[in-house]
Chain A
Amino acid sequence: MAVGEIARELPVSRPAVSQHLAVLKAAGLVIDRAEGARRVYRVDAAGLAVLRAWLDRFWDGALGAFKAEAERSLNEDN
């Protein structure tokens, strides 16, 4: 997907999208290549970024629930 195509789908400016993509690229989550004058980003890698972000939040929630249960069960035993 080219930057312009991505920007059309979002309520933010094209330079802002480029900036965000640069961040994702630095994090190793999107892959880009030059196609003529355009820079094209691989959509599957963007999907990977979404999934990684989901996993990140998922484990935050799961470990929070684990901590609560571990500490609750200790009080129960005492």
Chain B
Amino acid sequence: MTAIQTPAPVQKTVRVAVPPQKAFEVFTARMSKWWLADHSIMKVPRESVVLEPRQGGRWYERGVDGSECTWGYVITWEPPKRIVLAWQIDGTWQYNDKFVTEVEVRFTPDGSNGTRVDLEHRNVERFGEGAESMRAGLDGTMGWGQELESFAAATRG
């Protein structure tokens, strides 16, 4: 029996040509402007993405009809250096208040007027809980065979 290993967190770094204060402000207060439109769990078109600017603040999207879908909440609020968000959309693409994965974003000065933004989405293994229903959902959109192929290819670089 092979020991169960924990999947690595998703880690990303992007450099932006704006100071940390600005990067932090755009990331948090202007999420509506950049969050990809097709990444929504609502049935109606999205009107905005809201991140309430404080520890414990709600993170949600609002539809054009005024309905809201919660995504999670603010675990750590440290402008302009760092935020940690609770991502509570589970593997079935539903908000689940018992499900928490963490997204940490750090903003570090880079050169005279830039920022290095490091993002880590961790606790990925928690998506595996309730895996059967998740797989049903994923099979509908992409089919796991093709994904396995492309993922393995990507892993080998």
Contact = CB atoms under 8 A, between A and B. Distances in A.
A47 B137 CA distance: 10
A18 to B, nearest CB: 11
Given A27-B7, A52-B124, A62-B36, A67 B155 contact: no
A62 to B, nearest CB: 6
Sort chain B's interface into a size bin. 35 or more
Interface of B: 1-2, 4-8, 10, 12, 14-18, 22-23, 26-27, 30, 33-36, 39, 91, 117, 119, 121, 124-125, 127-128, 131-132, 134-135, 138, 142, 144-145, 147-152, 154-156
Interface in A40-58: 43-56, 58
Given A45-B128, A50-B148, A69-B26, A64 B2 contact: no
B17 A9 contact: no
Given A44-B128, A48-B127, A53-B151, A66 B14 contact: yes
A47 B131 contact: yes
A31 interface: yes
A25 B155 CA distance: 11
Sort chain A's interface into a size bin. 35 or more
Interface of A: 6, 9-10, 12, 19-20, 23-25, 27-29, 31-34, 43-56, 58-71, 73-74
Contact of B26 (A25, A53, A70): A70
A35 B148 CA distance: 23
A26 to B, nearest CB: 8
A69 B29 CA distance: 12
B51 to A, nearest CB: 13
Given A28-B5, A50-B147, A73 B131 contact: no
B99 to A, nearest CB: 13
Contacts, number: 140
Contact of A63 (B12, B127, B149): B12
B34 A65 contact: yes
A47 B48 CA distance: 30
27 contacts: A6-B145, A9-B145, A23-B152, A23-B155, A31-B4, A32-B2, A34-B1, A44-B131, A46-B148, A47-B135, A48-B128, A49-B7, A51-B91, A51-B127, A52-B7, A52-B10, A53-B151, A58-B36, A66-B34, A69-B33, A70-B18, A70-B26, A71-B18, A73-B26, A73-B30, A73-B33, A74-B18
